[in-house]
A and B are shown apart, each in its own frame.
Chain A
Amino acid sequence: MVETRARPRVGLFVTCLVDLFRPTVGFAAVKLLEDAGCVVEVPAAQTCCGQPAFNAGDRATATDLARRTIAAFEGFDHVVVPSGSCGGQIKRHYPELLAGDPLWEPRARDLAGRTHELVSFLTDVLGVAGVDARYEGTVTYHDSCSGLRELGIKAQPRRLLRGVDGVRIAELPSAEVCCGFGGTFCVKYPDVSNRMVEAKAAEVAATGADTLLAGDMGCLLNIAGKLSRQGSAVRVRHVAEVLAGMTGDAPPIGRSPGEGG
Chain B
Amino acid sequence: MHPTTHAFPENARRALSDERLQRVLATAGIGFIERRRKAAERLPEFEELRDRGRDIKNHVLENLDLYLERFEEAVVGQGGHVHWCATAVDARDAILSICRSVDAKTVTKGKSMIAEEIGINDHLEAAGLTPVETDLGEYIIQLRKEPPSHIIAPAMHLSKKDVADTFRAVHTELPPDRVLEEPTVLIAEARGVLRRRFQQADVGITGANLMVAETGSTVIVTNEGNGDLTQTLPRVHIVLATVEKIVPTLEDAQTVLRLLARSATGQEASAYTTFSTGPRRPEDADGPEQFHVVILDNGRTALLGTEFQEVLRCIRCGACMNHCPVYGAVGGHAYGWVYPGPIGAVMQPALLGLAEARHLPNASTFCGRCEAVCPMRIPLPKMMRHWRETEFAERLTPPAMRRGLALWAWFARRPALYHHAAGLAVRALRLLGGGKGRFARLPLANGWTAHRDLPAPQGRTFQQLWAERQRNGR
- Whether B447 pairs with A53 at a CB distance below 8 angstroms is no
Distance between B421 CB and nearest chain A CB, rounded to angstroms: 10
Q: Does B3 contact A (CB under 8 A)?
A: no
Complex CA–CA separation, A250 to B365 (angstroms): 29
A127 on the B face (CB < 8 A)? no
A145: which of B367, B412, B456, B458 is its contact (CB, 8 Å)?
A: B367
| B15: min CB distance to chain A, Å | 9
Distance of A177 Cα from B189 Cα, bound (Å): 39
B369 contacts which chain A residues (CB < 8 A)? 145, 149, 176-178
Find B365's partner among A57, A65, A145, A255 (CB 8 Å cutoff).
A145
Question: Is residue A259 contacting chain B, with contact meaning CB distance below 8 A?
Answer: yes
Knowing A182-B366, A250-B458 are in contact, say whether A197-B409 is a contact too (CB < 8 A): no
Chain A residue nearest to B445 (CB atoms) is A187
**Which residues 430-466 of B sit at the A interface, judged by CB distance below 8 A?**
435-438, 440, 445, 447-448, 450-458, 460-463, 465-466
What are the interface flags for B362-385 relative to A under an 8 Å C-beta threshold, 1 for contact and 0 otherwise?
A: 111111110110000000000001
Size of chain A's interface in residues, with CB distance under 8 A?
A: 72
Interface residue from A55, A65, A177 paired with B413 (Cβ < 8 Å): A65
Contact (A47, B411) CB under 8 Å given A24-B458, A26-B466, A52-B405: yes
Q: Would you call B326 an interface residue if the criterion is a C-beta within 8 Å of the partner chain's C-beta atoms? A: yes
Chain B residues near A182 (CB-CB < 8 A): 364-367
Given the known interface contacts A19-B461, A20-B426, A196-B325, the answer about A180 and B438 at a Cβ–Cβ threshold of 8 Å is no
Cβ of A170 within 8 Å of any chain B Cβ, yes or no, is no
Q: Is the CB of A57 within 8 A of B462?
A: no
B186 within 8 A of A: no
- Please determine whether B362 and A254 come into contact, CB atoms closer than 8 angstroms: no
B122 at the interface (CB under 8 A from A): no
Determine which of A45, A225, A259 lies in contact with B452 in the assembled complex, contact meaning CB atoms within 8 Å: A225
In Å, the complex CA distance between A192 and B360 comes to: 12
Q: Does B9 contact A (CB under 8 A)?
A: yes
- Neighbour of B462 across the interface among A26, A45, A145, A254, CB < 8 A: A26
Question: How far does the alpha carbon of A52 sit from the alpha carbon of B366 in the complex, in Å?
Answer: 12
Most buried by A among B13, B365, B372, B408: B365
A190 vs B372: C-alpha distance in the bound complex, in angstroms?
A: 25
B435 contacts A19, CB within 8 Å?
no
What total of A-B pairs shows CB separation below 8 Å?
Answer: 207
Given contacts A26-B462, A52-B405, A57-B385, contact A150 B363 (CB under 8 A): no
* Contact residues in B for A188 (Cβ distance below 8 Å): 362-363, 401, 447
Question: Which residue of chain A has its CB nearest to the CB of B435?
Answer: A256
Bound-complex Cα distance A54 to B409 (A): 11
Question: Which residue of chain A lies nearest to B439 when distances are taken between CB atoms in the complex?
Answer: A225
Residues of A209-243 at the interface with B, using a CB-CB cut-off of 8 Å, are 221-222, 224-226, 228-229
Q: Mark A1-42, 1 if CB is under 8 A from B, else 0.
A: 000000000000010001111111011000000000000001
**In the bound complex, do residue A195 and residue B16 qualify as a contact, i.e. CB atoms below 8 Å apart?**
yes
Q: Which residues of B contact A65 (CB under 8 A)?
A: 409, 412-413
Taking the complex as formed, is B159 at the interface, i.e. its CB lies under 8 A from any CB of chain A? no
User: Which residues of chain B from 373 to 413 have a CB within 8 Å of any chain A CB?
Assistant: 385, 387-393, 397, 401, 405, 408-409, 411-413
Q: Give the docked Cα–Cα distance between A172 and B84 (Å).
A: 52
Bound complex: CA A214 to CA B304 (Å): 41
A178 close to B365 (CB less than 8 A): yes
Chain B residue with minimal CB distance to A43?
A: B415
A44 CB–B CB distance under 8 Å: yes
Q: Which residue of A lies closest to B452 (CB)?
A: A225
In whole angstroms, how far apart are the Cα atoms of A146 and B369 in the complex?
A: 10
The residue from B385, B438, B452, B458 contacting A22, defined by CB atoms under 8 A apart: B458
Assembly CA distance A59 to B405 (angstroms): 12
Chain B, residue nearest A72 (CB): B415
Q: Which of B326, B447, B462 contacts A23 (CB 8 A)?
A: B462
Tell me, rounded to whole Å, the shortest Cβ–Cβ distance linking A33 to chain B: 13
Flag whether A64 is at the interface (Cβ < 8 A).
yes
Contact (Cβ within 8 A) B415 A57:
no
Is there an interface contact between B364 and A21, defined as CB atoms closer than 8 Å? no
Asked if A186 lies at the interface with its beta carbon under 8 angstroms from chain B, I say yes
Bound Cα distance from A61 to B9, whole angstroms: 27
Instruction: Determine the residue in chain A with the shortest Cβ distance to B391.
Output: A57
Q: Which of A22, A150, A194, A250 has the most C-beta atoms of chain B within 10 angstroms of its own C-beta?
A: A194
Residues of B within 8 A of A225 (CB): 438, 448, 452-455
**Interface residue? B422 (CB, 8 A):** yes
A25 to chain B minimum Cβ distance, whole angstroms, is: 8
Asked whether, in the complex, the Cβ of A192 is within 8 Å of the Cβ of B363, the reply is: yes
Would B363 and A189 count as touching, CB distance under 8 A?
yes
Pick the contact of A226 from B393, B405, B435, B451 — CB < 8 Å? Answer: B451
Asked whether any CB of chain B lies closer than 8 Å to the CB of A191, the reply is yes
Excluding A23-B458, A189-B9, 8 further A-B contacts by CB distance (< 8 Å) are A50-B412, A65-B412, A145-B368, A185-B363, A188-B447, A192-B329, A196-B365, A225-B438
9 contacts between A and B (CB under 8 A): A21-B426, A64-B413, A149-B367, A180-B365, A181-B365, A185-B363, A191-B16, A225-B438, A256-B438
Closest 8 pairs (CB-CB, A-B): A182-B365, A187-B447, A57-B388, A57-B392, A225-B452, A178-B367, A256-B437, A254-B455
